[in-house]
Amino acid sequence: MNAPCVFGFHEATFLSLIPPQARDALEHWLDTQKSLNGASENTIKAYSNDTADFIAFMTQYSGESQGLGALGRITTRDMRAWMAATRSTDVGARSLARKLSSVKSFYRWLAEREGFEPTAVLTIRAPKFQKKLPRPLAVDAAKSMIETVEYQTPHAWVAARDSAVITLLYGCGLRISEALGLIGADVPLPETLRIVGKGGKERVVPVLPAAREAVQGYLKICPHPLEPTAPLFRGIRGGALNARAIQDVMAKARMQLGLPATATPHAMRHSFATHLLSAGGDLRSIQELLGHASLSTTQAYTAVDTARLMEVYDRTHPKA
């Protein structure tokens, strides 16, 4: 377990503040989250860092080793002290809420395993923060982005590759990791594609003809051999394409198009959902296409649509 030091501790000191008993419990919980709940590597890393930070702070704050017994005796006052100390390190309300969620998840598991009452931890309220709305591109801007990325490289096959990846993000609502996770065995792309998303959650997404054509166009001129188990999208040297390459090419294209910094690969996925909603798609269907575990996550797109409607209203209403 390799967690960063957020309270000014050197790494060796930081790790020494987590007693073996608590470290073992934390690692057992992380294994459970990964194997039974299908948590992604990024989620596991965040859980590990957040909860290790918490245990290290409590050890320093209480002046005693935070064994399992001590962890079970943490009070509401202790929790508030941790939250205040965390905020003092320039951690924002959103990040603190995420950290608290990690700690609460660990405590639910630990309390059931050790048989103590976790109320002091679980009843602490997360700080309020304004949720950021997705920032989709306009329909014309999304199309222009796909076209413009082709002109960012002198290599025809790289241009076709970049265009194919971004077409998949916009045409199928894929995450960048999902698009880059496709392998040779996935082509030729069928009319529907089975995607394994966050937490191992599976979904089936329709593949538009434009997306299938873009991928086939890339494959025709890709200099690297297509192998069933190898990544579909390749880097210059033939290895797996890094998401950073797509982020960089979109950054160049958006500068040419005069688009904001929010025009990222993930914005293409947001655009897919928002444009579907604007065209009359229902939230439940869009939730399934995006692979959101909760409908509340998808409901953010209704706020985007409403916000855009109000902008138009303010601009055009005769009494505005």
Closest Cα partner for 304 from 262, 243, 258, 259? 262
Is the dihedral angle over the CA atoms 13, 14, 19, 23 positive or is it negative? negative
Helix (H, G, I), strand (E, B) or coil at 127: coil
Q: For tokens 């050790």, name the residue.
A: 114
CB atoms within 10 A of CB 245: 18
The span from the CA of 307 to the CA of 145, in Å, is 23
Cα 44 to the center of its chain, rounded Å: 12
Q: How far apart are CA 113 and CA 108, in angstroms?
A: 9
Length of the chain, please? 320
What is the C-alpha separation between 284 and 191, in angstroms, rounded? 21
∠ Cα 43 264 177 (to 5°)? 40
User: With the C-alpha atoms ordered 193, 202, 298, 283, is the resulting torsion angle positive or negative?
Assistant: positive
Catalytic residues: 175, 198, 266, 269, 292, 301
Could you give the CA distance from residue 226 to residue 186 in angstroms, rounded to a whole number? 11
The amino acid at residue 277 is L
